[in-house]
Amino acid sequence: MTTPFTLDREQREWCAELRALAARRLRPLAREGDPGRVNRPLVAALGELGLLARVLPEGGVASAMDLCLLRESLAQECTEAETALALQGLGAHPVLRSGSKEQRERWLPGVVAGRTVTAFALSEPEAGSDAAALRLRADPAPGGGWRLTGEKYWISNAPEADLYTVFARTGPEPGATGITAFLVPGDRPGLTGTPLDMLSPHPIGALAFDAVPVGPEDVIGEVGGGFKVAMRTLDLFRPSVGAFAVGMARAALAAALAHAGERRAFGGPLKDLQAVSHQLAEMATRTEAAALLVLAAAAAHDAGEPGIARRSAMAKLFATETAQYVVDAATQIHGARALRRGHLLEHLYREVRAPRIYEGATEVQRTIIAKELYR
């Protein structure tokens, strides 16, 4: 069983370097972007700086620890850069892990360089956290291949992505069986999309498939093996969603500590009020506990230990719920100024809500954990 641990000196120095890089190079690019749109200069910078290569390494084996350290560090200074990096990894990881040699050679260089924007198209109007309920049909086409017909919803980077990893039902079997993963370029005939105006500021959209043609060369892995492709990807990325949340919690805690030390009320600084100091202590303790749970899950994943689904679910569950609490508490300590548009906490308040839902809502994580306990 992997025990929680502190980061070694090299890891700590790398995280500090990432935070400095995010503040100096990435945050200005994020500010120049349009909320709700793909920020291509920002994605290109992630490629230029070599960060996407750490998420999608040439060897084909992504490190959960690297992914978590990247996402936590970037999130502390620039959530837009964190999200852009994560979405590139999420959309392309199925190709890295399960794609053919031809698929990897064709698509991954552009993704890693930040030229090709990717998306992970799993969710549908009636299949969000219950991914096995998806209805997008892959009907056999005359002469071979399939035609994709249906919808995808709440897809990050849609409708502007250059490449989609799309999960569709190739067989009549219900549930997880009969699902196949396909690579679908954004300009494929019959594929259209619409942006959705969401609370979170990153791009999210809906996709409509009107008999979109796909062939055997577009299949990721095996026909009927798409659900395993999706779950393998989510098992890797779920702890890093927790890392994203920890990064936001650390940013909110730092802001609350600075404000409580400087703001005077009732004859002294806020930090001298027991109600505030105890709140800060609770925020710090929960954040540290979440960070350790995330690191333990990442270490277990990289070591190939059993129980990865349970550990990943625990990390995502606890860290995202903790981040929501910490951001809310930091907002309360700041008072009305935190509600002003453009304030760090106003930004974090909008960002922090979505991770409790995407890649499996909090309630789904609890269900996974409970099932794994009896496995």
Separation CA 22–CA 30 (nearest Å): 10
Instruction: Tell me what pLDDT residue 36 has.
Output: 87
- pLDDT at residue 199 tops 90: no
Establish how many alpha carbons lie within 13 A of residue 21's alpha carbon, considering only the half-sphere containing its beta carbon.
19
**What's the whole-number mean pLDDT along residues 314-343?**
96
Write out pLDDT tens, residues 18-28.
Answer: 999 999 999 99
**What's the whole-number mean pLDDT along residues 354-373?**
93
Best CA proximity match to 362, nearest among 352, 350, 349: 352
- Would you say the C-alpha torsion 304, 309, 314, 320 has a positive or negative sign? positive
CA angle 29, 32, 35 (to 5 degrees): 110
Best CA proximity match to 247, nearest among 19, 39, 13: 19
Instruction: Tell me what pLDDT residue 256 has.
Output: 97
Instruction: Tell me what pLDDT residue 349 has.
Output: 95
CA angle 373, 374, 375 (to 5 degrees): 95
Q: How confident is the model at residue 4 (pLDDT cuts 50, 70, 90)?
A: low
Instruction: Tell me what pLDDT residue 28 has.
Output: 97
Q: How far is CA 344 from CA 246, 248, 351, in A?
A: 16, 10, 11
Separation CA 326–CA 328 (nearest Å): 5
Q: How confident is the model at residue 3 (pLDDT cuts 50, 70, 90)?
A: low
Q: Is 351 a catalytic residue?
A: no
Assign 276 to helix, strand or coil.
helix
CA angle 168, 145, 188 (to 5 degrees): 70
Instruction: Tell me what pLDDT residue 1 has.
Output: 44
Instruction: Tell me what pLDDT residue 119 has.
Output: 98
**Cis peptide bond prior to 94, omega within 30° of 0:** no
Write out pLDDT tens, residues 224-268.
Answer: 999 999 988 988 898 999 999 999 999 999 999 999 999 988 888
Write out pLDDT tens, residues 38-97.
Answer: 999 999 999 999 999 999 998 777 899 999 999 999 999 999 999 999 999 999 999 999
Assign 266 to helix, strand or coil.
coil
Radius of gyration in angstroms for the set of CA atoms belonging to the chain, rounded to a whole number: 21
Write out pLDDT tens, residues 119-161.
Answer: 999 999 887 667 678 899 999 999 899 999 999 999 999 999 9
- pLDDT at residue 2 tops 60: no
Instruction: Tell me what pLDDT residue 168 has.
Output: 96
Separation CA 279–CA 332 (nearest Å): 10
8 Å CB contact between 181 and 237: no
Q: Tell the CATH topology of 228-373.
A: Butyryl-CoA Dehydrogenase, subunit A; domain 3 (1.20.140)
Assign 208 to helix, strand or coil.
strand
Average pLDDT, the chain: 93
Catalytic member of 160, 359, 363, 372: 359
DSSP 68-119: HHHHHHHHHH-HHHHHHHHHHHHHHHHHHHH--HHHHHHHHHHHHHT-S-EE
Q: If you classify domain 118-224 with CATH, what class do you get?
A: mainly beta
8 Å CB contact between 167 and 128: no
Assign 225 to helix, strand or coil.
strand
H/E element holding 326?
A: helix 308-334
- pLDDT at residue 16 tops 90: yes
Q: In this structure, which amino acid lies at residue 160?
A: E
Share of the chain above pLDDT 70, in %: 98
Instruction: Tell me what pLDDT residue 129 has.
Output: 66
Separation CA 146–CA 166 (nearest Å): 13
Separation CA 375–CA 320 (nearest Å): 25
Domains 9-113 and 228-373 share a fold: no
Instruction: Tell me what pLDDT residue 5 has.
Output: 66
Separation CA 251–CA 209 (nearest Å): 40
Separation CA 375–CA 336 (nearest Å): 48
Establish how many alpha carbons lie within 13 A of residue 285's alpha carbon, considering only the half-sphere containing its beta carbon.
6
CA angle 222, 133, 121 (to 5 degrees): 60
In 10 A of CB 210, how many CB atoms?
Answer: 12
Share of the chain above pLDDT 90, in %: 82
* CATH number attached to the domain at 9-113: 1.10.540.10
Separation CA 47–CA 67 (nearest Å): 15
Task: Calculate helix-pair angle for 64-77, 79-98, nearest 10 degrees.
Answer: 160
Write out pLDDT tens, residues 284-307.
Answer: 999 999 999 999 999 999 999 988
Domain ranges of the chain: 9-113, 118-224, 228-373
Which position has the higher pLDDT, 130 or 111? Answer: 111
